[in-house]
Amino acid sequence: MIPYGRHHIDQQDIDHVIEVLQGDWLTCGPIVETFEAELATQVGANHVVSCSNGTTALHLAMLALNIGVNDVVLVPAITFLASANAARYVGADVVFVDVDPKTGLMTPETLKVAITAHKDKNLKAVVNVHLAGQCEDLEKIHEISRQHGLWLIEDAAHALGTIYTDSTGQDHFIGANSFSDLTTFSFHPVKTIAMGEGGAITTQDSQIAAKLKLLRSHGMVREASQWQGVETGPWYYEMQELGYNYRISDINCALGSSQLKKLESFIAKRRALVAQYDRAFALSSTITTLTKLPTSRTAWHLYIVLMDFAQLGLSRADFMKQLKDKGIGTQVHYIPLYHQPYYKKLYGEVNLPGAEAYYASCLSLPLYAGLTQDQQDAVIEAVLNHA
């Protein structure tokens, strides 16, 4: 079976993990800080705080920005559940923002429309999701957010290694927070680098970074210089805020550190596969590739095509089944969040035309560093034969 996504682990990765397993620290050890420093160097971040997964990264981001009850967070309608759920974890409400049907991304224009439509609400933050690894015009989205006094969180679960080009032609790695307050990452096995499970948050703000570190470990302080009470002693610690056990282990970070060393080769392979797919589907009357944005030098996490299933005379479910019967896995990224029963019950019926058009046609084909040329050729042949 050719899956839509898969991790790529080699002996170097295995050896790096074994070294930790044979050492003194399995968690709360030095490799966690090593990984954070390496990631900071990779993306140009001032501060990196690692955590247990991409969802906890988003939750910590909400907590660190003091978002809570009676606040409202704007989230693109096309994204994974966690992008909106993190706001609900802290008691905030969600406003769904429409997307460009040709990219699945929130745009400056759709953000402005959503802000205007909900200007009577206590809007606090925007979650800007880089679907498939591609980023929209961050500079304009940041400008709009600032005009309305909104925090800006980049959900870069798909975008490790993506570079944004601003209006002056200057390049910025996603994660450098050149046009945001916080950026969150995920290192789930199907992402560009794998850690089993893992996440991270980057920020330029030292106070926010300190709060993130506090909250990821029970709100517990061990440094005597920061204690608020009168008791002291080598055993002593203080819980100064209600925090969580969102730490990540040295085992995960050992794998992440090793994988980071291969990031550039992983990205290059993914870009080459995307280019090959694009060439293969260029003349199809039923398949459209995602619009490629000039603002984004993309480290592709997903390869998404937009298919005219009506013209094809075949439902998406049947199309996916036919490919599965040939040993090819596909997926849909994503169902509009407001379709989910939980959000329907909470906010009633929502219908955003861009999100609906995108969802009606999107399909993710296999894309991962270990995908061979023969496997990709088989995918292309099967898709074109059925399309």
Taking residues 40-68, what's their average pLDDT?
98
Taking residues 101-124, what's their average pLDDT?
98
Question: What are the tens digits of pLDDT across the range 322-369?
Answer: 999 999 999 999 999 999 999 999 999 999 999 999 999 999 999 999
CA atoms within 13 A on the CB side of 83: 31
Question: What are the tens digits of pLDDT across the range 191-217?
Answer: 999 999 999 999 999 999 999 999 999
* Domains 11-260 and 263-386 agree in fold: no
Taking residues 138-146, what's their average pLDDT?
98
What's the pLDDT score for residue 342? Answer: 98
Distance CA 300, CA 363 (A): 15
Q: Which of 124, 140, 191, 211 is catalytic?
A: 191
Yes or no: domain 11-260 corresponds to CATH 2.60.40.1120: no
Question: What are the tens digits of pLDDT across the range 173-182?
Answer: 999 999 999 9
Query: Is the per-residue pLDDT at 387 higher than 80?
Result: no
Where along the chain do its domains lie? 11-260, 263-386
What's the pLDDT score for residue 170? Answer: 97
Average pLDDT, the chain: 97
Distance CA 63, CA 61 (A): 5
Per CATH, the number for 263-386 is 3.90.1150.10
Catalytic residue status for 191: yes
If one compares 224 and 76, the residue with the highest pLDDT of the two is 76
Question: What are the tens digits of pLDDT across the range 166-175?
Answer: 999 999 999 9
Query: Is the per-residue pLDDT at 93 higher than 70?
Result: yes
226 pLDDT band, cuts 50/70/90, is confident
Burial annotation 100-130 (CB, 10 A radius, 16+ → b, else e): bbbbbbbbbebbbebbeeeeeeebbbbbbbb
If one compares 232 and 172, the residue with the highest pLDDT of the two is 172
Distance CA 197, CA 51 (A): 9
231 pLDDT band, cuts 50/70/90, is confident
Query: Is the per-residue pLDDT at 125 higher than 70?
Result: yes
Secondary structure of the chain in HEC code, one letter for each residue: CECCCCCCCCHHHHHHHHHHHCCCCCECCHHHHHHHHHHHHHHCCCEEEEECCHHHHHHHHHHHCCCCCCCEEEEECCCCCHHHHHHHHCCCEEEEECCCCCCCCCCHHHHHHHHHHCCCCCEEEEEEECHHHCCCCHHHHHHHHHHCCCEEEEECCCCCCCEEECCCCCEEECCCCCCCCEEEEECCCCCCCCCCCCEEEEECCHHHHHHHHHHCECCEECCHHHCCCCCCCCCCCEECCCCCECCCEHHHHHHHHHHHCCHHHHHHHHHHHHHHHHHHHCCCCCEEECCCCCCEECCCCCEEEEECHHHHCCCHHHHHHHHHHCCECCECCCCCHHHCHHHHHHHCCCCCHHHHHHHHHEEEECCCCCCCHHHHHHHHHHHHHHC
Which of 271, 285, 331, 275 is closest to 304 using CA atoms? 331
Question: What are the tens digits of pLDDT across the range 268-324?
Answer: 999 999 999 999 999 999 999 999 999 999 999 999 999 999 999 999 999 999 999
- Which residues touch 203 (CB under 8 Å, ≥6 apart)? 45, 46, 47, 49, 177, 181, 182, 183, 209, 212
Give percent of the chain above pLDDT 90: 95
